[in-house]
C-alpha cells in the first residue's frame, strides 16, 4: 500500500490527511512552549546528517526551541551522543524547561508508527509517512523549519502548513537535493506567515558571510562518526561543518522570531558555539535524558 501511494503521488490534499494524526499522538506537557521544530527526511541509507541542529541547544535565553526529528539517523546519532531517545512526554517537558531543547522520537510519541516501522525500513524508499511527519508533530510547534528533499514539493508543503494554521514556517530545499540549507548556491525556500500566501525567499550562505562549499566537504558517515562531528563543532571546530550549522540555525532563529534577520541569526548562532553554550546545553540534556522515564 505504501509503495502504491508513492507511485500515485503526494498532492497537498493527500498530505493534509496527516492533520488528524496530531490528535492521536501522545500529548506533551501543557506547560511547555514549543516554538520551534526542525524536521527532515533522512537520506535513505545515507546517514550523512552534519549535526546542523545541534547548535540550537545553546539558545534557551532566546526562547524555547524544540528539535523534533523523525529520522532514524538522527535518533542513532543522538544515542551516540550519550542521550536516551525513548523518553516520554514528562521527560521531554522537563528537558525543554531546563535546557530549551528536546528530542522527540517518532515511535515513542506516535505509538502507531511502531506497527509500520519495519515495513518502511525494508521498502528503502520514502513513503507517505515521511511527508506526513512535519504535519503530525506531537509538539504542535507554532513555528517550523521543514526540509524537503524534492523541490517539486516545496510549495505544496508550504500551502499545507499554512492550512494547518502554523504561525510561521520556512520550507527549504537545499542545492544538491538536500532537505536542509546548503552552503552551495541554489537553495530554494518558501516562507509561510499567517494571513498571507506562501512566498518564495532567497537564503544563500554567501550572503551571510559563510564560505561556499560542496556537500562532500561536509563529510558524513555512520551515526557514530556523525556524533563525533557534532561534538567537534560544539567544541570549536572551524570549517564547512560549522558553517552549515550556523546557516541552518540562523534560519531557525529567524523563523522562530528570536532573530530579526538571518544576519542576526547567524551572529547568535556563532556566539552560541564560541561561548560554549551549545555544548553545555547538550551535556545537560544528556544528563536529563538518562534519568527521564518513558511516561
Q: What is the pLDDT along the chain (295 residues), one digit of tens a residue?
A: 444 444 444 555 555 555 545 544 444 454 455 565 665 554 443 444 444 444 454 444 444 444 444 444 566 677 778 888 888 888 888 888 888 888 877 777 766 666 665 565 665 556 566 666 667 677 778 889 999 888 898 999 999 999 989 999 999 999 988 889 999 999 999 999 998 999 999 999 999 999 999 988 887 777 788 888 889 999 999 999 999 999 999 999 999 898 999 999 999 999 999 999 889 888 999 999 999 866 6
The CATH number given to 32-291 is 3.40.1030.10
* CA–CA gap between residue 11 and residue 114 (Å, rounded): 25
The cell 535546557 sits on which residue? Answer: 99
* CA–CA gap between residue 262 and residue 177 (Å, rounded): 22
Model pTM? 0.81
How many residues in the chain?
295
- What is the DSSP code string of 58-122? G-GGG----EEE--HHHHHHHHHTT--S---HHHHHHHHHHHS--EEEHHHHSGGGHHHHHHHHH
Question: Are the C-beta atoms of residues 191 and 199 closer than 8 Å to each other?
Answer: yes
How is residue 146 annotated by DSSP?
E
Strands 168-173 and 143-147: what pairing? Answer: parallel
Extended strands (E) in 165-250: 168-173, 188-193, 199-201
Q: Which helix (H) or strand (E) holds 144?
A: strand 143-147
How is residue 173 annotated by DSSP?
E
Amino acid at each position: 500500500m505504501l509503495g502504491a501511494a508513492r507511485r500515485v503521488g503526494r498532492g497537498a490534499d493527500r498530505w493534509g490527511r496527516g492533520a488528524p494524526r496530531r490528535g492521536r499522538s501522545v500529548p506533551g506537557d501543557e506547560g511547555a512552549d514549543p516554538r520551534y521544530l526542525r524536521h527532515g527526511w533522512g537520506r535513505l541509507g545515507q546517514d550523512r546528517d552534519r549535526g546542523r541542529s545541534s547548535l540550537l541547544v545553546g539558545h534557551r535565553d532566546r526562547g524555547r526551541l524544540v528539535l523534533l526529528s523523525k529520522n532514524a539517523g538522527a535518533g542513532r546519532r543522538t544515542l551516540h551522543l550519550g542521550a536516551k531517545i525513548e523518553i516520554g512526554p514528562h521527560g521531554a517537558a522537563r528537558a525543554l524547561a531546563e535546557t530549551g531543547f528536546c528530542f522527540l522520537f517518532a515511535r515513542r510519541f506516535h505509538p502507531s508508527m511502531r506497527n509500520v516501522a519495519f515495513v518502511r525500513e525494508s521498502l528503502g524508499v520514502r513513503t507517505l509517512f515521511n511527508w506526513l511527519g512535519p504535519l503530525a508533530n506531537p509538539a504542535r510547534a507554532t513555528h517550523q523549519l521543514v526540509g524537503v528533499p524534492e523541490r517539486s514539493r516545496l510549495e505544496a508543503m508550504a500551502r499545507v502548513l499554512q492550512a494547518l494554521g502554523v504561525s510561521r514556517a520556512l520550507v527549504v530545499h537545499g542545492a544538491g537535493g538536500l532537505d536542509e540549507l546548503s552552503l552551495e548556491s541554489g537553495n530554494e525556500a518558501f516562507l509561510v506567515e499567517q494571513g498571507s500566501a506562501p512566498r518564495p525567499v532567497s537564503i544563500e550562505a554567501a550572503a551571510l558571510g559563510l564560505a561556499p562549499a560542496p556537500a562532500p566537504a561536509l563529510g558524513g558517515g555512520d551515526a557514530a562518526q556523525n556524533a563525533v562531528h557534532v561534538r567537534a563543532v560544539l567544541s570549536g571546530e572551524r570549517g564547512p561543518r560549522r558553517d552549515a550549522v550556523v546557516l541552518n540555525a540562523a534560519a531557525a532563529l529567524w523563523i522562530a522570531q528570536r532573530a530579526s534577520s538571518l544576519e542576526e541569526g547567524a551572529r547568535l548562532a556563532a556566539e552560541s558555539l564560541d561561548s560554549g553554550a551549545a555544548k553545555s546545553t547538550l551535556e545537560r540534556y544528556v544528563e536529563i535524558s538518562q534519568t527521564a522515564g518513558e511516561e
